[in-house]
Structures are given as structure tokens and as C-alpha cells.
Structure 1
Amino acid sequence: MRIAIIGTRGIPNHYGGFEQCAEYLSAGLVKKNYEVTVYNSHNHPYQEKEWNGVEICHCYDPEYKMGTVGQFFYDLNCIRDARKKNFDIILQLGYTSSSIWGWLLPINSIITTNMDGMEWARAKYSKKTKAFLRVAERLAVLTSDHLIADSIEIQRYLKNKYGKEPVFIPYGATLFDEPNLACLEEYNVEPYNYDILIARMEPENSIEMILDGHALAQTNRKFLVVGNTNNVFGNYLVAKFKNNPNIVFCGGIYSLNKLDNLRYYSNLYFHGHTVGGTNPSLLEAMASNALICANDNVFNRAVLNENAQYFSTANDVAFSLLNIQKSTGLYNNMIANNRDRIANFYNIDNIVNSYAAHFEKITRERLAEKPQRVEKPQRANEPQIKLQLKNN
């Protein structure tokens, strides 16, 4: 079976959750003797044509020149290339910038889409952008043969809104069992004497609320903020908290081993994500013995149950910082329960097996019925769009 994965910037992961999923999923499927192609941005740091048995197809990505709008042209280029190849299944990870090209998806391939969270609910977007994202969500549903939801709540939402039953397949993580104190030296912190958050610098990740709580608590512990601050909101946060010597903006860290060690030796790990889905970074925190303090919402509670502290305000954050010490051992049951959850449910093998079972099922269904989606006829030798922009 030939499978293509589109919708990410590429593998190995240098960016985020979808890339992490594409990395372990593609490698796992290859071990099961599937032929897998992952589409990479042409300027991805990894420039080889193969990675761990996975074929890498680089497509032109003008985002570095155009900004966010360039993602739309990158997705178009990936889809155009996929039209030239005989993939049995195309797995779309997300839909934000690919949905408008849904009519171009090849009709001979089965299209299954991981719908991610409710993108239109993100606080960073304007009213016009949110309106577009609602349309994009609907287009993705209409142009996909099958849907995947990474959380039960997202599955319920999609079924109620569109009357289409997504398959539930969450993300996965691997238990971290090899801590190394030497990893802390780079960040000048002591074990269990610092707190941490790892997130994209976006308003809906509760970062400002968490840091406001840290300022209220006035603890002597350092607070590490891991994430690329090179955007408007990131710059705002750096400026707002520049006079707080205990808040350390570490920038992006892309070594999983470093991240696992920072989570493992932290006092409290804060997870502020609010916009739907099972977040991969939360699973990685659970897998690395972190004591978690999460934003109180249905998505986080569905993953953590009662095995975390929760916050809804900056005052809640301050209370947890002042009253919870991981080193006391009082919360070991929470940590152990989260590790069990990773080992027995959110483990990588389970996730790969779930995707493989989904692919086999939808292939059998395709053989039993004719495709329903209509596409515009493909033009022969259709070139990739490659924009030539003047440098300002």
C-alpha cells in the first residue's frame, strides 16, 4: 500500500505536533511494509530524499518570502505533485491551508484527514480569519473521504456538526527513562527547583496568564519558557516580563532529549493549551515524569483525568507555584498514573497500529464502492507554482 502524508513542513521534526506525528507514524508504517512518502518544504533542514525508509519529497514552499500565505502555495504544490503519483491513500494532517485545494485532490486516492482542533477558535486570529477557518473546516469535511479526530471531544464536535463519524486516533509518546542531570547545566537550573512551559507563543496557550501567575507568586525559582518568541505575541511577552529576572525565555528547543530532561527535572510543568485536541507536548510531559498543571478544559481533562493540577486564572497558577513541591513525593501517584496511561494507551505502537487498521479498513471500503468525490480533470505535465518575488 502506498501512502502519502501531506500538511506538514516535513520530517525529521523541527517544528511541532503534526511534524512529530508524521515522523513516528511514517517510520512505524514503513516497519509494517507500507510504502510511505512524506512531503517536506524545499527549505527543510533535512535535504535527503530518504529518511529511515521513508521517501521524502521536497516541494517549493514560499512561506519564507510571503509569510503565512505561502503555506497555501506550498500545500498546492504538494497536492499537484501527489496528483502525478499513484498513492492509495493520502493522509492530510490538518486543513487550514489545504482545504481550498480540496477539489484538486486525486480521485483515485483515498483522502483521510486529521482535523486537528477547532482552528477558528484560536484567539490570535481576526474575525475575518476565523470566518475563513470555519469555511475551511467545512471544505475539508466535504473533500475528504474519511476524517480522523485526535480527541473524543473533537470527534463528538465533528459528528454533531457535520453528521460524519470520524475515527478516533490520538497522538502518541514514548516513555522517557534515561534522565541526565548534565542536560540542566546549559540552562543553569537545579533539579526540581524550576518550573517550565513548552508551547508556541500564541494567546490561546495561556502563556501570559501563567507568567502573570508566576509574577504574583514571587517565588525564587526560575521559570523556563520554551518556544520561539520571534512573532508578535512572543515579542510582547518578552517585553512585558523583561524586568522579571526569574523568567527565562529559552527560545525554541528541538532536541527531544533536552526537552524530556527539562520536563523530568522540573518542579511544575504548565500546559496552557485551550484549543482542542490531544496535544503531543502534553503526552510527552506525561511520558517524562512531569508533574503537570494544566488549563482546566474538557480537552486536557480527557487526557489527564484527575492526575494533574488545574488552573483557570493567574491566581490559580500562583497558588500552585506556592504550594506544590514535586520533590515531596506527595504527587507520585499522579505521575505514575500518567506514565501508565502512556504505556497502555498513548504509546507509539498503538497509534501506528490504529492508523494501519484505519488504512486497511478504508481501502476495503473503497474496493466495495465507487468514489463519490468529483474533481477537476488534471492537466498533463502540470508544473509546480514557483513564485518569483522581488526582495523589498
Structure 2
Amino acid sequence: MSTLAQLRAALADMLAEDGTLTDPAWRGAVETVPRELFTPSYFEEVPDSFPTRYRPVHQGDDGWLEGVYGDRTLITQLDGRIRPGDVTEGTVTGSPSSSSTLPSLVLRMWHQLDVEARQRVLEVGTGTGYSTAIGAHRLGSAALTSIEYDPVVAQAASAALGAAGYAPRLIVGDGLRGDPEGGAYDRLIATCSVRYIPLAWLHQVKPGGKILVTLSGWGYASGLVLLTVTGPGTATGRFLPGYTSFMIARPHDRPPRPALALLPGDERPSTIDPAVITTWTGGWVAQLAAPAAERLGAGAEQVLWDVSTGSQARTTPGPDGGWTVVQRGPVRLWDRVEAAVQRWQEAGAPHQEGFGLTVSPTGQRVWIGDEDGPGWDLPV
């Protein structure tokens, strides 16, 4: 057995041992698809750097293959334009904008999609093409259409897929609009996150079909939801256990903002510990309550800033215990967050599998427990 085959087998063994790989057919995809073709170079974080710096790792460098066949996300682009080959020496800063998702998450999502042979799948976010290749190996290239927003990323993925022997239908365009030729898909899987479910998807997936996508927002909280399409423009489903996050789709990303300036406002005691919104689900609830706000800070010192209205909220520990919040602007952000967190806590503070989502032509609502439970409208 070659070294590469051994590395793929070892990755498959690891994913089987941790419970990710439960279907032999998907295991065969992991053992066959050459991830090194899709990640000939990538960025690694420089430890303890602030702001975070990245160094490029290229094919043949020490540790390159170990990174490729480790269960880790490999960053392949920064700021929507900088690729590892663009850095000729030293390190670089930037915001990750494209990556090869860690294999365990790729395989877990393909399992959760519950796709069967002969079903048509639309993938939103080709990225490096590794996930696309996994799906094409299992289902056949003819069953899979994949859309990538970035033409440079799409070109590299197309070349890698061809070199690996797969030929799914590839589209360069806005995946939030779905297949520009329309479609009657059985499944849709997204490897980017969205602030709300694009209506085009709900008309391109057949009634009874499923959509698997991560909901996210400008507060950097995320939740993976599996929806069943109930009719044209309608769907319902529940959020899944675990912790899943993806880069937000570029059309749904927050607008550029100026440097943050903390301004005076109205001060009062906070009725909740601000640190609760630093937890996975607490941050999710806060984002549902204030979807246009970016969250900054740590622990009890939190800052919410809604760049669209200029509204701000910032919390600090109180001098005699408790916490203080200062708010300004037309949207009382902390009032909304407090109310949402209290409703969540009154419902037992469930993790995200206790939440669901209902989508209709008139709106999209996340709820706790069941559709009649407390909930929040998404910013459609």
C-alpha cells in the first residue's frame, strides 16, 4: 500500500472510530478521494500572533501531508483574494475566506443529508472541491451539481476534480440563487452559512426533499439545521446536535464598518450575566434577538454594535457586584438580548437541537420546543 493510500486509510479509521463514518460507501469515498489534489497549499496560523498571522504551507514542505490528512480545516484563501502561492516570503494577516473543511464535518454532513442513490443533489459552495469529490464518488458525478461564488476558487476546484477523475456539473455564480437553470433537486447541502434561507432554494428542492445548511449572522453564532421542504416556498425542520460553523456566504456578510468608537449612552444594571452570550447557544440566542449587531468583547465585558443604525450596547462588571450596561441609538440592543436570553432560560436553556425553523413565503421563524413556542424572526 502506498503512503498516500495508508494516510487515507488512517483517516478513514479515525473517522470510523469516532463514530463519524457509519456507512461503508462513505468510507470508500474517504479511502479513495485524494485530498492532496484539492489542497496543494494552505495557510497555517502562526501561534500566539495578534492580529492572527498566517504562513503558507506548500506541497513538499515539512508537515504538508500531515496537515492534508489530519482532521482539520485548511485555510486556502484570505480576504477573498490572497492564496498561499501569493505569499513569497514571511507571513501575512487577513480574514479566512475559503477553506477545505475538516473531513469529519464533511462526512458528518453527508451522512446527515440522508441522501440515496439516484437522488439529485445541489451543493452550494464548491470551495476546494474535496467535499464535492466525496459526494461524486458516493453518488456518481451525474447526480451532483455544485456552485461556487469565487471564480478563482472555482477554477482551482474544477482542475482538482478533473485530476481526481470526477466530473460533476460545476457552476460559477451566486449559490444563494440556486441553479440558474432551475431544478428539481432531492437534496441541497451548503458549505457556507447564511443569515436566512434563500427562497430560490425552496423552489428548487422538491416537496419532501431536504436542505442542510448552517444559519449564522453578524454575531458569529451558528447552528446547523435540516429542513424538509413542504411545498413551493415552504419548509420546516430542526437544528441538529453538535457545533457546526462555516464562513458566511459573501452576499450575507456584514457591511464594512468604520473603526469602533465607544460613545456615551444610557446606563442601567444588566439583569443577566453578559458572559452567557459567550457560550455557544447563549451567543446564538443573542444573535437571534439582535441579528444586525456584531458582537465583540470577552467575558462580562461585551460590546454589541449595529452598524446599520449606529446603536451600541456595552457591558462591564458593576463596582459592587452584578453588571452594568450602557446603551445608545434607536435600537436598544441589550434590552432585546436580555429578553431573549431570559425566554431561553425559562425554556430550560436547551442546546440547539431544542430549536426549530419554519419557513414560509411571509417569513422565517426560529422557535424553541415547537412551532407555538417562543421564537424570533430571521432578517429576511
Higher strand share: 2
TM-score class normalised by the smaller sequence? under 0.3
Report the TM-score when normalising by structure 1. Answer: 0.26
